[in-house]
A and B are shown apart, each in its own frame.
Chain A
Amino acid sequence: MSAISTSLLSVFVTLKKISYMSEALSHISFAGIALAILLGLSLNITSTIFVLFIVAIILYISLQYNLEESNVTMLLMSVSMAVGIILLSFKKDYVVDVSSYMFGNILLINKEDLYWLTALIIINLLFIIAFYREIIYTVYHASIAEFYHVPAKLITVLLLTILGINIAISVKITGIVMITAQLILPGMISLNITRTIPKAIIISVLFSAFASAFGFLLSFHFNLPSGAVIVVVLFVLFLLSLSFKRLFLKEH
């Protein structure tokens, strides 16, 4: 399910070339998780609020001081990681394995998470359906879109917000390192196969769901870490899609 919700956004992330953002937000959410563990709060809510808070800071700084979004993001990413680790070190009796947050742990899922993920899929779908054209034009070229009266700034804020929520919720299942792959690879695969965006979104979701199911089966069967296997499966699919693209182009 986390595969479905993130892969819905994957095409846009790939096209807007903000993959660094998903990487950064997942690391940032680590600080959120650390905070939640330290204070004994709900992981989902705390890390969501924390990530959104950071998204707001990123947007504010890059708009106000005219700095590159990517630089600001990377800066905050390292700071968040550092803060996360410091926070965790305060918790003396801390026993949970940090690596399960780095690479994800399917066993950390509970019933509440499933509700969250279902809600996320619905939110993502509604966002895409309601603002489809606006998103496309914004992702195409934000400042030109703004000139032609697309509410590009608003769409960028919404896109980053939704991306932030998705990452914050998915991160403990998929893992900080793996979620980036899940946000980028499905989009890259589908854009190798088709050039029409609605089809690309559907293909992206199908491939991502398949990779997760298949990867999970493999990992279960051979007793391997599931997150890692899923990423490798996605990567193999990506290689296949590259050769598909090459064959397809030759025909033309």
Chain B
Amino acid sequence: MIEIKDLTYRIKTKTILENISVNIADEEFVAIIGPNGAGKSTLLKLMLNLLPLQEGEIFINQQKHTEYLKSHQLAYLPQKESFVVNFPLKVIDLVLMGRIFNKRHFMRFSKHDKDIAIASLKLLNIEGFQNKFISNLSGGEFQRVLLARALATESNYIFLDEPEAGIDKIGLAGFYELLSKINEQGKTIIAVSHDLDKLSEHCKLVVCLNKTMHCHIKPDNNIKQIVHEFIESAK
């Protein structure tokens, strides 16, 4: 369970987020949507403690998130990581990055680590990729590898920042299918996205954000209508 209480974040005098309170239950699949500059990524980074809290509090499993993070590795698919694909790194090595937590100096991966990395690839139907170079992958394939790294952390919470970037439409549908599958296996998924059209078919909760929180709804038949209105009003 993630609880966000009265969160406000400013950069100098500019308010990025104002008075955000939201609870995300375990095994939830949340889509955080909103226009550019709505503070979506900022909210994600605050939850991950990549940005320091200013006002308000965040709890993960009843612990302050900074405390929780000391003993847990969260899973995170950052925006724009796909820009570094021209790097001579193999898929398996990238996935093993998710296993570094709690290793002391001189990282050495055990058989157990490798098994988990390969199992993660298998779950996403890309176990054949392990010895490929990341530079030989398509955008969609690379995103799946990043998802495998997220799974390899064995974290119950997976955060995604605009995962649709760099994936074509068909690849994206498959990617969301995979997210649903992982969600059904008990992982909590929190995705920031521009693309609600497809994502709303898979997620269980939509959070509309534009500095303040506008709505917090379960997707049903008229979700697209509501979200469309929200996007229009935000413009």
Contact = CB atoms under 8 A, between A and B. Distances in A.
Interface of A: 15, 130-131, 133-134, 136-137, 140-141, 143-145, 147-150, 191, 195-197, 200
Nearest to B133: A195
Contacts of A134: 107
A148 B88 contact: no
A191 B100 contact: no
Nearest to B83: A141
B73 A149 contact: yes
By secondary structure, the B interface counts as loop
Interface residues of B, number: 24
Contacts of B101: 148-149
A147 B103 CA distance: 14
Contacts of A148: 73, 97-98, 100-101, 149, 153
Chain A to chain B: the 6 pairs with minimum beta-carbon distance, closest first: A195-B88, A133-B107, A149-B101, A148-B97, A149-B100, A148-B100
Contacts of B133: 195
B127 to A, nearest CB: 21
Contact of B97 (A143, A150, A197, A200): A150
A123 B93 CA distance: 26
A15 B81 contact: no
Nearest to B87: A140
A136 to B, nearest CB: 7
B84 A130 contact: no
Contact of B106 (A130, A137, A191, A200): A130
A147 B146 CA distance: 14
B100 A196 contact: no
B81 A150 contact: no
A136 B89 contact: yes
Contacts of B48: 147
A130 B104 CA distance: 13
B97 A15 contact: no
Contacts of B76: 147
Nearest to A130: B106
A140 B89 contact: yes
Nearest to A194: B88
B78 interface: yes
A141 B81 contact: yes
A197 B88 contact: yes
Given A137-B97, A150-B100, A144 B81 contact: yes
